[in-house]
Amino acid sequence: MKSIKARTIWGETDKKGASSRELICRLRPAMALVLAALATGCGSSYSHSSVDPPVNPPQLYFSPRMDAGSQATYAVDQTAKTFVRSTYSTGGATITHAGQISTLPNGIVSLAATYIYGGGNGTVTIPQDAPITGSWAVELSGQASLIELTIPSEETSQGVMTSAVNYFTPAVPVSSCPDLTKPAIFQFVTIPRNLNASSSGSKIVPGSWNPNLETAYGSVQIATNGTVFKFTSINQHTMPSGSGGEPGTPSVPAPGNATADCTSTYYGQVISYPGTSAVIGGLVTPTATIGIGPTGFLVEDAGSGMADPATGLQYQNLLGSGYGAIGLLQPSSDLSSSLAGAQYQGFLYAPGNSSSAFSLISSFGSSANQQACATLQGQLTAAQLQPSANTIYGGEFTGNDPASSTLGNCDVAIDLGTESTTGHGLYTGATVYVGSAFPRNGTGSVYSFPAVAVAGQLKGKNAIFIVGADTTGTPSRAWGIYLFQSN
């Protein structure tokens, strides 16, 4: 266990009173899951115990790099009530954060940190009875998770302050490779980076997302043959150009078809790509890491790529642009009425590390929130904005604290619009309405922006993922909205 690159001195007592030995013992079950992932990543094998599995077995999740700057895993043990976040390098695993989990009455999971890795500057160990709270997760256990980790700056054992952490990520279970012997269609939206300041022009700016030139949404057919995954009919589109939701233009260059392998890695059982594809005229082969959950939750880390010097376009690596893609199996029927009538929990997300960025734990669902939505509905009427019947009302929790109330505020409305004729679960003419009370509304009045949504079901529960380009608000920003049904 001491071989894990966590810089903790065995038996050392932290300035806040808990010993490293005590901390590791408390987190042992979740750490064992991290070690198992590390072992499989090194090509080792292990045998299963003959003991009956626990009712809530530990779950390993893979998360893309996003604003955190690196790919990671979350080991969540619902029985021991612990979590461990780890990143990986050629030297092995680094546990960056660990602590306790608990479930609020409304079903949202609280992550309370008791350990922080401070790099070469030591660690921070917080007493178990005084953990750092304020981090949250929305989880469909064993199916999918959405995690926001918010940790203030703390002093390490060497007297150096750690950097404050505030980032959001989707997380996909990767304990096994999915079996898709029958080809299945997935629909996805890009996980955006900062909105390109030249989004109305024709430039690609590294580290940003241009919705007019880079992938906003798409679809792919995936089939498996053992550990080999075949991606066919890869369709990638930019944001729709018209208010009616006309399909966006295909983003180029796109791979069309690809073959990749699902193997044991530091990150669990994930699909690794590139194969042999490279940027036309470029110098770097792009990469991607994809996890698919047992009921069809898909998350892609887009990895690295390079602009085509002939066109200036960023290679669209396999699925999404930006940080990657988040998607679902295409439903077999129209879910529109079910989507509009359900209750949800999730996150409102604007990427980046600037003052314009945010990740806010939120709740949505019109039936239980009608009275609280009267102000927003009045603003929409006064502004002559008329959402359709497929509109879901909700918003963030006050102070980003879901422990304070059962439901969040009502200052955002998601109008899915009409389902696309190209496939169930796709809404290319969606609209997001932002009320004046939304804490990151810099305009002082209600306004709207266009978006694309994909929807489906995870083990009988609705899920909705949205990407939008908000050029009306102040400041302009990209939006991601990610919701799981809670009722």
Same domain, 354 and 403: yes
270, 228, 266: which is closest to 40 by C-alpha? 266
The parent domain of residue 286 ranges over 184-329
Give the DSSP per-residue string, 144-208. EEEEEEEE---B-TTS-BPPPEEEEEEEEE-SS----SS-EEEEEEEE--EEPTTTTTT---TTE
Give the pLDDT score at 90: 82
Structural domain count of the chain: 3
At 282 the pLDDT is: 47
Residues 28 and 167 in one domain: yes
Distance CA 361, CA 341 (A): 20
How confident is the model over 196-236, as pLDDT tens digits? 866 555 677 777 888 888 889 999 999 998 889 999 999 98
- Cis peptide upstream of residue 387 (ω within 30 degrees of 0): no
CB 386 within 8 A of CB 380: yes
What is the per-residue pLDDT for 307?
A: 55
Give the span between the Cα atoms of 303 and 48, in whole angstroms. 33
Q: What are the tens digits of pLDDT across the range 82-105?
A: 999 999 988 889 999 999 999 999
Whether the ω angle into residue 64 lies within 30 degrees of 0, i.e. cis, is: no
Are residues 51 and 163 located together in one domain of the fold?
A: yes
Q: Are residues 106 and 124 in the same domain?
A: yes
**Average pLDDT for residues 259-284, to the nearest whole number?**
71
Rg of the chain over all Cα atoms, to the nearest angstrom:
22
Furthest-apart CA atoms within the chain: distance in Å: 66
DSSP-assigned letter for residue 477: E
Give the alpha-carbon dihedral of 277, 63, 467, 228, to 10 degrees. Answer: 40
Same domain? For 356 and 476 the reply is yes
10 pLDDT above the threshold of 80: no
> What's the CATH number where 146 sits?
2.40.128
d(CA 7, CA 351): 30
Task: Assess whether 320 and 242 both reside in one domain.
Answer: yes
> How far, in Å, CA of 396 to CA of 32, rounded?
35
Q: How far is CA 373 from CA 223, 394, 411, 450, in A?
A: 44, 8, 7, 21
Does 101 share its domain with 233? no
Domain boundary among 153, 173, 193: 173
> Residue 113 class from Cβ within 10 Å (0-12 exposed, 13-18 middle, 19+ buried)?
buried
Question: Residue 98: helix, strand or coil by DSSP?
Answer: strand
Pair 298, 357 in one domain = no
What percent of the chain has pLDDT above 70? Answer: 77
pLDDT tens-digit series, residues 143-163: 999 999 999 999 999 999 999
Whether 455 and 186 have beta carbons less than 8 Å apart is answered as no
Q: Give me the mean pLDDT over the 454-460 stretch.
A: 96
Classify residue 388 by its DSSP letter. Answer: -
Per-residue tokens: 433:
């309405």
- The answer to whether residues 108 and 146 belong to one domain is yes
Are 62 and 140 contained in the same domain? Answer: yes
Contact 358, 347 (CB under 8 A): no
Task: Give residue 352's pLDDT.
Answer: 84
Same domain, 360 and 425: yes
Mean pLDDT score of the chain? 83
The pLDDT of residue 2 is above 70? no
The residue-averaged pLDDT of 252-261 equals 73
pLDDT of residue 119: 86
Q: Is residue 270 part of a domain?
A: yes
Tell me: pLDDT of 15 over 70: no
Q: Mean pLDDT, to the nearest integer, of 30-50?
A: 49
Q: Which among 365, 143, 341, 172 has a CA at the least distance from the CA of 271?
A: 172
Per-residue model confidence as pLDDT tens digits over 303-360:
765 555 555 555 556 898 889 999 999 999 999 989 998 999 999 999 987 778 999 9
Q: Which of 70-74, 252-256, 377-381 has the lowest mean pLDDT?
A: 252-256
At residue 324, the pLDDT reads 93
Residue 27, domain member (yes or no): yes
Confidence class of residue 280 from pLDDT cuts 50, 70 and 90? Answer: very low
Same domain? 458 vs 323: no
Residues 391-434 have pLDDT tens digits of 999 999 999 999 988 889 999 999 999 999 988 999 999 999 99
pLDDT at 181: 81
User: Which pLDDT score is estimated for 389?
Assistant: 86
At 3, is the pLDDT very low, low, confident or very high (cuts 50, 70, 90)? very low
Cite the DSSP H helix spans in 11-162.
Answer: 20-26, 28-41
Q: Has residue 11 been placed in a domain? A: no
- Which of 329, 344, 378 is the C-terminal boundary of a domain? 329
- Taking the C-alpha atoms of residue 435 and residue 413, their distance in angstroms, rounded to an integer, is 8
